[in-house]
Amino acid sequence: MNKKTIMLGIVGDSAAGKTTLTRGIVNLLGKENVTAICSDDYHKYNRKQRKEMGITALNPACNYIDIMEQHFVLLREGKPILKPVYNHATGDFDPPEYIKPARFVIVEGLLGFHSRIMRDCFDVKVFLAPEESLRIEWKIKRDTTKR
């Protein structure tokens, strides 16, 4: 029996807790049952280029929205993708990786709900919006210890 892929989208501003929530869900459901991807991987420009251009990753024009849409639809259908990889530590891109969807697929990131095509792929949509002072505190802590 072919089980339907369950898609969960977790969206919010930078340092809103998306990755923390995703890790918690993966631990709860079991790594073998979950494919987790980050929409940050679909950036068009590396960190240096974005800085030179004066734009941030929050700008949809900074991301391959069309490829995200295509990949979300394929994952929804239970089909594999060749996903780009953005490396937060270096601010650049690593080689793409082959992703085969598990029973549950979690997509986390800034722009996962940008288009109707994207939104329609998800069974569950979560938007994280912590208090701004808390989010800034988390961002400073994260960016000074991990990146």
Give the residue extent of every domain in the chain. Answer: 6-145
**Residue 122's pLDDT is what?**
98
Per residue of the chain (147 residues), what is the pLDDT tens digit? 457 999 999 999 888 889 999 999 999 999 999 999 999 999 999 999 999 999 998 899 999 999 999 999 999 999 999 999 999 999 999 999 999 999 999 999 999 999 999 999 999 999 998 788 877 777 778 878 765
What pLDDT score was predicted for residue 67?
98
Strand partners, 87: 92
Output the pLDDT for position 146: 64
Rounded distance between C-alpha atoms, residue 102 and residue 106, angstroms: 10
Q: How far is CA 102 from CA 6, 11, 62, in A?
A: 9, 20, 29
Fold adopted by 6-145: Rossmann fold (3.40.50)
DSSP state of 79: -
